[in-house]
Amino acid sequence: MPNNLPVPLTSFVGRQGEMEEVARLLGSARLVTLLGSGGCGKTRLAIQVARNLLESLPDGAWVVELAALSDPSLVPQSVANALGLREESGRPLVEMVAEHLSSRKLLLVLDNCEHLAAACASLAQGLLASAPGIRILATSRQGLGVPGENLWRIPSLSVPDPGGQTLNRQTVSRYEAVRLFLDRAIAVQPGFALTDQNAWTVAQICGRLDGIPLAIELAAARVKVLPVPQILGRLEDRFRLLTTGSAATLERQQTLRAAVDWSYDLLTEREQQLFQRISVFAGGLSLDGAEAVCSGTGIAEEEILDLLAHLVDKSLLTPEEGCEGTARYRLLETLRAYGKERLERAGNWDEYVNRHGEFYRVVADRAEHELLGPEQASWLNRLEEEHDNFRQAIESAHERGDVARELSICASLWRFWWTRGFWQEGNRRLTKALDAAGGASVTPESRGASRARSGDPIRAKALHGSAVLARSLGDYAAAHDRIEACISIARDAGDREGLALSLRELGNLAYVKGDHAAAKAAYEETLVQCRAIDDRHGIAAVLHNLGSVALGQEDYSAARHFYEESLTLERELGDRTGEAITLNGLGTSARAQGDDAAALAYHEEGLALQRELGERSGIAYSLGELGLLAANAHEFQRGRAYLAESLGILREMGDQHGIADALELAAALEFRQEQPERALMLYGASRALRERLGVEAMPSERRRVQEDLASLWDALGADGAAALFSKGRAMTLEKAFAFATESVL
């Protein structure tokens, strides 16, 4: 069954009765929330229950991990991402997710809701109301307060009474907590075994820890350096100290505090310092990040690696392999919160949050330049892996009123957000940063003040990025306002590079709206500016744009000339993103001239490059073109697969213009496969979307569509064809997606 359940790295011990009970509850309740303190095993139990229920869930089980989020507005996006959905322009995410789930039967696991309880409650209530076939299993430290919610508190693992009668090895080994201790102890010390001599001592340790999984795992990890009698002795002292807190505090929380405090106290001073400092990272950290942010004041940079290894050995840090094969580490959220508390108590939280923010500002600044060079793919992967840290750096800067840092990081990341399809998030963050910096436009009254701002170059860059994202999302009015502001700033400052970049985007905006004359004028002025400052990247890009204008004007000879000149320069520069996009242009030009073989070669080469880069918009475009080429060759199954993948990507990104194009390509495939009813409905759906956006296809594509429609009208008669076309116009986008991608026998 479809799912995104993580593959467990360690065995799941015990909890058979709990799994059966939770499964039983889910059979009658549509929302079950597992309650318990940090470290009690909520996540592992929820995932195991989901895994056990997979066979009974036609549409699978999907985990939404919320621990790394701090912004409640990202909860719907996290659910959409887990389900493989992306935002659609002008449409609330909750509505989109609800429609996607409306006819499905699946289990949604919302993991770690406590810090986002209100957002999770609102989302859960909305989804349950609109999607009768779904069930939600949440994990939290408190209930969500949703009507119909069934709360279930996770008990401790079964343990012997530590003060009771001494039990033998066979009896002790029946307890879940002892089996968990044994399993984790063997993992760190393969020669460890439960014997007649140590069995009761192990049982006492588990009993003193009240059967809490995290506490037991931390204790078991110490068998590598301490015999079990010493572990028990230290634990006894620590518990007496830490059970004198408030009587209102849950005993289980006191026990977890004791376990973490005890583990923390076993660290050396420098290990403690590093443990505190790494708590400023979100969603994991790299070795480079730890060295840059956490070194100094008692810890030399060259010591960081060994100290991280010590934290791994002591089960306080989880090692991972980064996307580029680099060392990476993850701190459990409970331990991260503990480290944060310690760092705040020491008075150092602000210092390391500041260092974290500055590190990621520098990384973003470097990435901005690397994304135009030969290491694009590597840097795109790195940025996506660090996305949670960038989010935290941006949010922390905003909360602290550090407008310059917030704007700088956002301005540097816009190309990443665009390439990897985070269009709405990027646009939202840029808009928020620009508002904090004084607004997203330049008026005559504000121009003097604008000149005086030291951050104008960065602000202009942020405006440009937000204009690109707004245009991509179909918000042409906002895009126009922002790019005009960029042009004003560049002209006032005499910034020819900024002016060239802005004029090119102004041309892009005119091009997508079908005003080829205005686009050409803007591009030609851009080319003059780029040549004057020898901006070779800019020259290559605008040559491609001029090729696209020529293609739209059906001047295929000029289009090919511009594209080939652009391609030569892009290859010299190592600009693989630009190269792939230009290969797309050459492919479309060849198809328009009837040379499908050449078009196929260009698009296949471009698609391979774009897949390597993760350039989602280009991937979708290539797939759409390949789908039409396959349809032309009557290879309908292959064409349908291409178009289904293309539509899926476009839907995830919210590329409204691209969706309109792809629906027309899907309609063309149906027409060539002699499915006239389906073709008419898809052409109707595309027409409705184009009218809403106010955009048209290129003249050659419009002519092809009109020829298809004329044939369909003749084949089905005016009344029948008009009725089907109108039915397609009335489809929601979600229904159009499903209709376009379903199989036809």
**pLDDT score of 136 more than 50:** yes
Give the helix, strand, coil percentages of the chain, each rounded to 5: 70, 5, 25
Q: Is residue 647 part of a domain?
A: yes
Regarding whether 375 and 478 lie in a shared domain, the answer is: yes
Instruction: Calculate helix-pair angle for 117-130, 93-101, nearest 10 degrees.
Output: 40
Q: Tell which residue, 539, 545, 546, has the closest CA to residue 568.
A: 539
Pick from 51-55, 74-78, 254-258, 272-276: least confident: 254-258
- Does a structural domain hold residue 606? no
Domain of 636, in residue numbers: 615-741
Check whether residue 222 and residue 299 sit in a common domain. no
Query: What pLDDT is stored for residue 650 in this prediction?
Result: 87
Does 182 lie in the same domain as 108?
A: no
574 in a domain, yes or no? no
DSSP string for 709-734: HHHHHHHH-HHHHHHHHHHHHT--HH
In a domain? residue 313: yes
Residue 410 lies in a domain: yes
Q: Quick check: 551 and 592 in contact, CB under 8 A?
A: yes
Do 324 and 388 sit in the same domain of this protein? no
Residue for token pair 């990202």: 74
- Cβ neighbors of 548 (< 8 A, separation 6 or more) are 511, 559, 585
Phi, psi of 261 (to 5 degrees): -60, -45
CA separation for the pair 712, 270 (Å, rounded): 76
In a domain, 213, yes or no: yes
Asked if 140 and 194 sit in the same domain, the reply is: no
Q: Quick one: 362 and 333 in the same domain?
A: no
Distance between CA atoms of residues 553 and 547, nearest Å: 10
Rounded distance between C-alpha atoms, residue 184 and residue 720, angstroms: 69
Q: For residues 92 and 77, what is the distance between their CA atoms, to the nearest angstrom? A: 10
Looking at the structure, tell me whether residues 148 and 187 fall in a common domain.
no
| 553 within domain boundaries | no
**pLDDT at 174 > cutoff 80:** yes
Q: What b/e string do you get for 183-216 counting C-beta neighbours within 10 Å, with b at 16 or more?
A: bbbebbeeebebeeebbbbbbbbbbbbbbbbbbb
Do the strands 318-321 and 61-65 form a parallel or antiparallel pair, or are they unpaired?
unpaired
Q: Which residue has the higher pLDDT, 407 or 443?
A: 407
309 shares its domain with 430: no
pLDDT over 50 (residue 445)? no
Mean pLDDT of the chain: 85
| 305 shares a domain with 275 | yes
Domain boundary among 124, 153, 182: 153
pTM over 0.75: no
Q: Model confidence over 642-678: pLDDT tens digits? A: 999 998 888 887 788 888 888 998 998 999 888 999 9
Domain limit, last residue, from 347, 380, 396: 347
Q: What is the CATH number of the domain that holds 107?
A: 3.40.50.300
Number of structural domains found in the chain = 5
Assign residue 458 the CATH number of its domain: 1.25.40.10
Q: Do 399 and 295 share a domain, yes or no?
A: no
8-state DSSP, 3 = B
Distance CA 483, CA 465 (A): 9
Name the DSSP letter for residue 631. H
Out of 31-35, 86-90, 186-190, which region has the weakest mean confidence (pLDDT)? 86-90
382/474 same-domain check: yes
Going by pLDDT thresholds of 50, 70 and 90, the confidence category of residue 482 is: very high
640 and 657 fall within a common domain: yes
Please report the pLDDT score of residue 9 as a whole number.
66
Using one digit for the tens of pLDDT, what is the confidence trace for 675-718?
A: 999 999 999 998 988 888 777 877 778 888 888 889 989 888 88
d(CA 219, CA 261): 12
Q: Is the pLDDT of residue 443 over 50?
A: no
Q: Which of 347, 379, 399 is the last residue of a domain?
A: 347
Confirm whether 129 is domain-assigned: yes
pLDDT on residue 221: 82
